[in-house]
Structure 1
Amino acid sequence: MTIRAFLAPVAMALILAGCVSQPPRAPDVPVDHAQARAQDERRAALTNWSLSGRIAVSNGKQGGSGRIDWQQSGERYTVSLSAPVTRQSWRLSGDGTGGRLDGIEGGPREAADVEALLRETTGWNIPVRALADWVRGVGADPARFGEARIVYGEGNRPVRLVQAGWTIDFAQWQAEAAATGGPVLPARLTATLGDARVRLIIDQWTPGVTP
């Protein structure tokens, strides 16, 4: 069974509800850019982490959703996606040199370009390597993806990040991390490039996890 087949199908209106990127409003309060940079540095320093939550993807014609579990240690990653309705799952694992996709029809596949591998195998455009940084609210490696442009808002946190043609809108942040001394991390974000959209709702962040 293909990934596209087992992703829980949802109506396009449901997937895109709240996902369409709108130009962010000017911050209602002044932004302290020194504080914003300091927060960016704290989030960027978090290189070992895991998250669990929900993902919805669409390509302008089709869409699907499921559960996501992501472990990251430096450039090493393991991303697992499951669809509760069909009880199917797949796993993408790799590092900066390439990746391996398990759980697909025809057996595992490997490639140096993991984004191309996902497009060819699933039909979804998911910028995995850059998303590992974007999901923490920081720009990805400028040498690989170009400079990131960031708009800050309430709490000196990003409301929009633009890089490599993608626009990432941050709708909600998890403030409870600050109570334990950790950086405040995103809870809801949407990455958009043309018709491609990836929406993440993060239920839990865990620092210090190695895949």
Structure 2
Amino acid sequence: MLLTLWLSGCVTAPKPEAAHSESQRQSLWKTHQQQLKALDDWSLKGRLGLRVPGQSGSLSLEWQQNNGQYLIYLDGPLGQSVAKIKGQSGAVELEASGQRYSGVSPEGLLFELTGWDLPVSLLRYWVVGLPSPESDSNIQLNNQGYPALISQQGWQVEYLQYKDFSGVTLPARIKVRQGEVQATLFARSWELK
């Protein structure tokens, strides 16, 4: 037992990461932002935890983005298809429970069908770690120059973890919330094209 304690005392703690100055973080963010803005064809697979007043659950998520067009698959337990959302600017189509619905915006269509007010159009940017260019935002950067928090249109987007995917650092865990609505995204894989 004494040997174990002695050996554990010999293990060196990892050196804390050197703190960057604000100007260094801003410079890192500018470079990273340019890299992210070049991503217009990607796919993401992961899990989405959703909590809205009176309900909560977890869904499997597959999101394919190609420029302004997107295709999102949401599956429930045991791979059961919950919804397929296909859209582009000004038009969205949702398939669920054998029914097909269409609308002008994903937010409007989702609210009409569920009563949930979720910023689907903004998520396209938030999932890659960018604020939407459509409105003002406030960004707090972490020490590596990546967003730790984006505040936009009353929503708080907290970046809890980043990972390297195909040579690009992308969010692996995100929490989006406003009031009683909260969504947590766990990215298992990114494919960049």
TM-score range, shorter chain: 0.7 to 0.9
Over 3 Å off, 4+ runs: none
Normalising by structure 1, report the TM-score: 0.77
Is it true that 1:56 corresponds to 2:45 in the alignment?
A: no
Aligned residues: 174
Amino acid at match of 1:70: W
Task: Choose from 86, 97, 111 the match for 1:119.
Answer: 111
Q: Tell me, in whole angstroms, the C-alpha distance in 2 between the residues paired with 1:191 and 1:28.
A: 27
Corresponding residue for residue 5 of structure 2: none
Gapped regions of structure 2 (runs ≥ 5): 1-17
Higher relative contact order (CA 8 A, sep 6+): 1
Deviates more, 1:107-116 or 1:58-67: 58-67
Q: Could you tell me which of 68, 71, 74 is aligned with 1:75? A: 68
Match of 1:169 among 147, 158, 168: 158
State the percentage of identical aligned residues.
26
Q: How does 1:119-198 map to 2 (within 5 A)?
A: 119-142=111-134, 146-175=135-164, 177=165, 180=166, 182-198=167-183
Contact 2:27 2:145 in 1 (8 A): no
Which residue is 2:21 aligned to? Answer: 30
8 Å Cα contact 1:44-1:133 kept in structure 2: no
Partner amino acid, structure 2, of 1:198:
A
Partner Cα separation in structure 1 for residue 146 and residue 188 of structure 2: 19
Q: Tell me if structure 2 keeps the 8 A contact 1:58–1:124.
A: no
Aligned-residue RMSD, C-alpha: 1.8
TM-score by length of 2: 0.84
Give the superposition deviation at 1:103: 2.0
What secondary structure sits across from 2:87 in the alignment?
strand
Q: Which runs of 5+ in 1 are unaligned?
A: 1-26
Separation (CA, whole Å) in 1 of partners of 2:163 and 2:170: 6
For residues 115 and 139 of structure 1, the distance between their equivalents in structure 2, rounded to whole angstroms, comes to: 17
Q: Distance in 2 between matches of 1:111 and 1:158?
A: 32
Task: Indicate the SS of the match to 2:168.
Answer: coil
Deviation, structure 1 residue 85: 4.2
